[in-house]
Amino acid sequence: MSRLLDDLVHLSGLSPIFARTVVRRAIVRAGIDPESIQRRDVERVLPELRRALTVYLGDMGADDRAARIRRVINE
């Protein structure tokens, strides 16, 4: 698994075992290969990831996680 994929799993706020599947599916829905994801792809992935996280974290929780991911990845 790529380092960035690991980071997204960690930053998702979900259990790592569960988050891996959720994050990978969101990346695929955004049209990106999870093993090849790069920082420039994160903005494209965030809407799909946020949508997926909403199911588990609610709207506010998903918004908070998406904002945190954007901040950390862009540092």
Tens of pLDDT along the chain (75 residues) come to 689 999 999 999 999 889 999 999 999 999 999 999 999 999 999 999 999 999 999 999 999 999 999 999 888
CA distance 34 to 21: 11
**How many domains does the chain fold into?**
1
Task: Show the domain range for 58.
Answer: 3-73
Cβ–Cβ < 8 Å for 38, 73: no
3-state SS, residue 13: coil
Does an H or E element contain 15, and which? none
